[in-house]
Amino acid sequence: MAKSLKRNAIGVVGLTAFMNCTSIPKPDNVEPVAQGDGYQAQYRAPSVTRGQASYLQSVGMNQQDCRAPIGGPRDASVGKITATSETALLGERLSRNDLVEVLVSNDEVFSGNFVVSRDGMLKLPYLPAIPAQGRSTTDVERDLLAALQHNEFYETAPQISVRVTDFASASVGVSGAVFEPHAVEIGGVSGDRLDTRRQAAMGSSTEGRNLAAALRAAGGVRPDADLSAVELHRGGRIHRLDMRGIFDGSDATDIMVLTGDSIVVPSRLCFQDDLMKPSPISPPGISLYLSNLTQPATGNAPSAVGREVREVPYGTRYFQAVVDTNCVGGAKTTNANRTAVLFSRNPMTDVSVVIERNLEQLLRRADRDDYDPFLLPGDAIACYDSTVTNIAEVGRVLGIVGAGLLLSSN
């Protein structure tokens, strides 16, 4: 009787294990990803035969929801700056805390190194403050000369030179269709380091205080960004810049930003496949969370916790990351038909989605590009073993349970 009960117990455990192998439901999603209405149409999984598959449909599906570019057709506006005065943005511009060297010929009183004050003014002794924020050194030279003559320090115009010797960092706000909207600080010398050689030199320059640097510091532009009309808010005015040419190298329109500026990237409300590639304003890469465990781990060390976050290039697709996780390949009889799950989040709505794929189908079907999604920053991928491996694991569990029951009977 006892032996019969033990055999029945083993049978129940085995049946339960097999049922658990086959009864796991598909992941539920709030977004209708199955119809291609998720953040990207590549999230859907077309259930068609290999011979009846339609190819490269996802790009067109993504474009169907696109709002017209605010800046109009690209060939008419690329590289243009929409503002009352375009010259107000071009060239190097002074900002708060910039270090400038002022030289007035044969005059030690007005010559020296000065820092643009917090209110954006250049303050020299015995003279009214001269506006500097957002202006060029040429503008400041002209106003300085006028101040010297107006205050009767000179009857004949002296030679004047105003040169930047060190650009300070700039604090700007970045919002809209970027991955990490927040206030960023860019440019300048970080930490406790002092750039003495640059400060001692006549003149200074920097690319670290450009608009592109601010967008990168905010995580880069999202695939739904409308680059035809990136807004720069400065001094109560809104300037719109067309930055579409950055992605193909046809135009590298970029400007220097200043402390107090704010940048707004509008959205086209759709996924644009052509923005999923490296560029000066894209995310520098993708931090991807990966899991590929044949068996549940017994601790942090065996599961390599803290080492499974990898950097992959921006524009990487789901299947490329799966290969990087060693989820594909090996013995076909035991490793084929593995599955992997992608956890992502719609950056426009902040709603998460879970996408499950059979890796063998993704490998062999010709329409793979239509349901091989692009990865986004912060995505996570988990791999699951093949049917053969699952059955072997069930057998191992049954062996452990059976051994335990036999030992308890003795």
* pLDDT tens-digit map of 198-232: 555 555 567 788 999 999 999 999 999 999 999 99
Q: What is the mean pLDDT of the chain?
A: 80
Nearest to 383 by CA among 319, 315, 313, 331: 319
Q: Tell me the torsion sign for CA atoms 235, 238, 240, 246.
A: positive
- pLDDT, residue 386, reads 54
- Enumerate the CATH 3.10.560.10 domain ranges in the chain, comma separated: 74-90+169-269
pLDDT-derived band at 141, boundaries 50, 70, 90: very high
CB-based contact 281:118 (threshold 8 Å): no
pLDDT value at 112 more than 70: yes
Q: Which CATH fold topology does 74-90+169-269 show?
A: Outer membrane lipoprotein wza fold like (3.10.560)
Q: Average of pLDDT values for 287-306?
A: 60
CB-based contact 247:279 (threshold 8 Å): yes
Paired tokens of 121:
């003014």
CB-based contact 268:69 (threshold 8 Å): yes
How do residues 339-396 score in pLDDT, each as one tens digit? 899 999 999 999 999 999 888 888 888 888 889 999 999 999 988 875 444 444 445 4
Q: Average of pLDDT values for 302-319?
A: 73
φ, ψ for residue 397, nearest 5 deg: -65, -40
pLDDT value at 301 more than 70: no
- The whole-model pTM stands at 0.79
- Enumerate the CATH 3.30.1950.10 domain ranges in the chain, comma separated: 99-166
Paired tokens of 350:
């902040």
pLDDT value at 118 more than 50: yes
d(Cα 268, Cα 224) in Å, to the nearest integer? Answer: 6
- pLDDT, residue 190, reads 47
Measure CA of the first residue to CA of the last residue in the chain; give whole Å: 15
d(Cα 177, Cα 192) in Å, to the nearest integer? Answer: 33
pLDDT-derived band at 292, boundaries 50, 70, 90: confident
Burial class (CB in 10 A: 0-12, 13-18, 19+), 63: middle
pLDDT value at 134 more than 50: yes
Choosing among 3.30.750.200, 3.40.50.1000, 3.40.50.1240, 3.30.1950.10, the CATH entry for 99-166 is: 3.30.1950.10
Q: Average of pLDDT values for 84-99?
A: 77
φ, ψ for residue 284, nearest 5 deg: -65, -20
Q: CB neighbours of 147 closer than 8 A, spacing ≥ 6?
A: 127, 128, 130
- pLDDT, residue 161, reads 93
3-state secondary structure the chain: CHHHHHHHHHHHHHHHHHHHHHCCCCCCCCCCHHHCCCCCHHHCCCCCCHHHCCCCCHHHHHHHCCCCCCCCCHHHHCCCEECCCHHHCCCCCCCCCCEEEEEECCEEEEEEEEECCCCCEECCCCCCCEECCCCCHHHHHHHHHHHHHHCCCCCCCCCEEEEEEECCCEEEEEEECECCCEEEEECCCCCCCCCHHHHHCCCCCCCCCEHHHHHHHCCCECCCECHHHEEEEECCEEEEECCHHHHCCCCCCCCECCCCCEEEECECCCCCHHHCCCCCCCCCCEEEEEECCCCCCCCCCCCCCCCCEEEECCCCEHHHHHHHCCCCCCCHHHHCCCEEEEEEECCCCCCEEEEEEEHHHHHHCCCHHHHCCECCCCCEEEEECCHHHHHHHHHHHHHHHHHHHHHHHC
Nearest to 244 by CA among 219, 271, 280: 280
Most confident listed range (5-9, 58-62, 196-200, 300-304): 58-62
d(Cα 158, Cα 148) in Å, to the nearest integer? Answer: 9
CB atoms within 10 A of CB 404: 11
Paired tokens of 86:
């375009």
- pLDDT, residue 56, reads 80
